[in-house]
Amino acid sequence: MSKKLVHGIFDEEDTMMQALTSLKQAGIKVKDVISPYPVHGMDDALGLNRTRISICCFLYGITGTCLAVLMMWYMNIFDWPMDIGGKPSFNLYKNFPAFVPVTFESTVLCAAHGMVITFYLRSKLIPGVEPTVYHPRQADDYFVMTVEAGDEAGAKAAEKALGKAGAVEVKS
């Protein structure tokens, strides 16, 4: 059995934040809030955890570093080995300054592209996916609060609580 969602549309930030705290105190589960701009304190009020996207960026950067070192090792040892005065072809310690620019650029390239792809996938902005629009002005100047209700009785109670909290419009 799926949970029923009720959407409350607010026209002011302060009203929405007060409604958020009052609904949480009443025991009503607020699933999400769509805002036209970032609202200070909304993440804490919703009880959201800190994002783990920095971990993804670090992993993409390490992947770029490893790929750069692997590429330079392959080029210097197998693809086009050169014997210059009997020196080793691939020595990270003695030839370190020569490897820094390639390693840095590869790290940044992989981290940046990985973050863009992760952002698009996580935000569901990939081509062919239709966005969920609860109100036509939700990206202009309205705040949309999504409340999770268990059944019809919970949905009616949520609609009543949203109206009482100052919602301009309530949709279920």
Give how many domains the chain has, as a whole number: 2
Residue 48 included in any domain: no
- Residue where the block lists tokens 């009443």: 26
Give the pLDDT score at 113: 97
pLDDT of residue 96: 72
**Residue 130: per-residue pLDDT:** 85
Interhelix angle 152-165/13-25, rounded to 10 degrees, is 140
State whether 69 and 97 are in the same domain. Answer: yes
* Whether residues 161 and 103 fall in one domain: no
Q: Is 9 contained in some domain?
A: yes
Q: What is the pLDDT of residue 70?
A: 94
Any domain includes 42: no
**For residue 89, what is the DSSP state?**
S
Question: Is the model's pTM score more than 0.75?
Answer: no
As a whole number of angstroms, the distance between CA 84 and CA 95 comes to 13
Identify the pLDDT of residue 62.
Answer: 98
Residue 157 in any domain: the answer is: yes
DSSP state of 2: P
CATH number of the domain that 159 lies in?
3.30.70.120
Residue 120 CB coordination number (10 Å): 13
Dump pLDDT digits (tens) for 6-26: 899 999 999 999 999 998 888
In a domain, 132, yes or no: no
Q: Would you state the pLDDT for residue 2? A: 65
Kindly state whether residues 98 and 72 are assigned to the same domain: yes
Q: By residue range, what is the domain housing residue 166?
A: 4-36+138-171
Same domain membership, residue 148 and residue 110: no
The predicted structure's pLDDT at residue 33 = 92
Are both 63 and 109 inside the same structural domain?
Answer: yes
Residues in the chain predicted with pLDDT less than 70, given as ranges, are: 1-2
The answer on 59 and 30 residing in a single domain is: no
The Cα-based distances of 96 to 29, 68, 69, 120 in angstroms read 56, 13, 11, 36
